[in-house]
Amino acid sequence: MEMLSRVALVLVIVGALNWLLVGLFSWDLVAALLGGDATRESSMLSKIIYSLIGVSGLILIPTLFRDRAPVENK
């Protein structure tokens, strides 16, 4: 299960960084890589929300490299 959690965390971080790019530059990295319209028009409120999600992804990056403490069984 730990591997599945790490893969999910990586995907969440990549998604958050993509939203950061959308929020700051109106540019969608995933669309640019996989085909599609890479530019988006967004309202200022949307850009703020996307940027906050992106910053949250940046904050989570160190979580990938932390050692997990073993769970104690009672």
Q: Which helix (H) or strand (E) holds 55?
A: helix 44-60
Residue 26 lies in a domain: yes
Residue 58 lies in a domain: yes
Residue 3 lies in a domain: no
Q: For residue 43, give the 3-state DSSP assignment.
A: coil
What local confidence, expressed as pLDDT, does residue 2 receive?
84
Residue 43: give the domain boundaries: 12-62
Residue 6 lies in a domain: no
Task: Report pLDDT digits (tens) over 3-28.
Answer: 888 899 999 999 999 999 988 998 88
Residue 71 lies in a domain: no
Number of separate domains in the chain: 1
Residue 67 lies in a domain: no
Residue 69 lies in a domain: no
For residues 60-68, average pLDDT = 84
User: Which bin fits 50, alpha (ψ -120 to 50), beta or left (φ > 0)?
Assistant: alpha
Residue 68 lies in a domain: no
